[in-house]
């Protein structure tokens, strides 16, 4: 996906951040390395083959945080090789606020 199209789609500014992410659904389970993130989604890389439209539960393991941020539903928006973009579709307001606060303190 070219960066101009990504900018048009993106709802929130992404922050360069390296952390791990776990994902699972009834059909698929795996881990990924996040390369950038926002309260609305992230870009990550995984050895697990993913496809556009897949939805799953996500745990984002932020650096220096003992409890991961829980995203109840995330959707794969694009895939390019082992890289993919996730949209955080549904999570508790308290979890979104925790992620937002962490990212604001990181910049």
**Residue-wise pLDDT tens digits, 39-50:** 999 999 999 999
Per the structure, how many domains does the chain have?
1
Range of the domain at 35: 3-106
Q: What is the pLDDT of residues 73-106, one digit of tens each?
A: 999 999 999 999 999 999 999 999 999 999 998 8
**Containing H/E element for 49?**
none
The CATH number of residue 9's host domain is 2.40.10.220
DSSP state of 68: P
Query: Over 70: is that where the pLDDT of 58 sits?
Result: yes
Query: Over 70: is that where the pLDDT of 72 sits?
Result: yes
Pairwise CA distance, residues 79 & 64, whole Å: 29
Which residues make beta-bridge pairs with 45? 33, 83
Instruction: Check residue 9 and give its pLDDT.
Output: 53
Count of alpha carbons within 13 angstroms of residue 79, beta-carbon side: 13
Helices (H), the chain: 3-9, 93-106
């Amino acid at each position: 996906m070219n960066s101009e199209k990504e900018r048009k789609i993106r709802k929130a500014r992404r922050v360069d951040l390296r952390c791990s992410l776990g994902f699972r659904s009834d059909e698929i389970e795996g881990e990924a390395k996040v390369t950038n993130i926002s309260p609305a989604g992230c870009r990550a890389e995984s050895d697990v083959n993913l496809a556009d439209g897949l939805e799953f539960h996500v745990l984002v393991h932020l650096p220096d945080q003992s409890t991961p941020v829980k995203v109840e539903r995330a959707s794969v928006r694009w895939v390019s090789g082992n890289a993919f973009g996730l949209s955080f579709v549904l999570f508790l307001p308290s979890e979104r606020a925790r992620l937002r606060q962490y990212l604001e303190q990181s910049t």
